[in-house]
Structure 1
Amino acid sequence: MRLRLPRTSRDERRAATLAVLIVVLALAAVFFIIDVFTDLGEYGLGWHIALELMATVALFISLGLMMLELREMQSRMDSLDRGIRAARGDMAGLIGGFFDRWQLTAAEREVALLILKGFDNDAIAGFRGVAVGTIRAQSASIYAKAGVDGRAQLFSIFMEELLAEPQATEKGGPEGPPRSS
């Protein structure tokens, strides 16, 4: 089961609003430029036409600046999206590294992943189509292999890795928690 974050964010709404404003400004700019050239041909260059021409130039400059801002905003959103995808990939690799170190079976890996996602034993049993007792036994085996006492400690292993300084996680990969003696 894969949980997804909502796609509508404040930045996406801002980008969409900015795009709509750009379209409206572009339509207004086209109208004004046509009006200026029509008036220029009809009346010649006077103070009114000069004022309309300056307003039209300012409109085109605003349009250009808004287009640059939209492009920069989309670039920032793409960068953030790449970062989130990289973090997800890193987290998946980190989890897989711990699971390999602990030598979890395929069934234990699936149960451990569901535990990390926050599901309780009843829900996990329902997803997997097995008895709750089976999930309890697999959970106990996971905790023993990981050297932890329960869900909270299992979860804390991964939280510590997420919050660790980048240099610490790059050196040796997942090392697992300290084992109690």
Structure 2
Amino acid sequence: MSATLSQHVDNWYALFHVQLMRLALRWGYGDDESRDLVQQFFLDLLQKNLEPGTIDNPQAYLTSAFSRRLIDHYRSARVQKKREVLQPGNTYEPSVLESLVQVQSNEELMAAIRAAYKRLPARCRRVIQLKYYEGLTTEQIAERTGLHTRTVYNNLYEGIKAMRAELHKTHPRLKFAAVFSLLPLL
């Protein structure tokens, strides 16, 4: 590596690293990852047998080369993600049934679900009960309770949203589908 190449790369880094960081940020990379990509790009430039005198417009050259680097990085990350998905046993996601068994055995969680359900307004509890445990449709619930169908829908939505938010605070990995199957046990 000649001293002139090193000097040129240092000069280019001083002039253009902010612009390349912005380019990486526009591509959706985070601050730290963008910084790492730019630094690695300039380190790789030092490794190349580049003739700095042959580059007429360093800004255009660096921008194009860095854009190609970002494309290559994106493609390799996408391929890596596909490999991880295709490899069985790498990540284990329990089924809803397994989550249900685990939830039932956790008394603290059962108490949290019970408390979240009891804190719901009476209308929301009633509508959730009719929908998920008696299997009624929104229209049937409206007929039985005398509420408008839109009100029934809104009460369901608000009840589910409130329970999900409250339980997410204490148990962020909980599968919410398991919660509805547990409510009759409470």
* TM-score, normalization by structure 2: 0.29
* TM-score, normalization by structure 1: 0.30
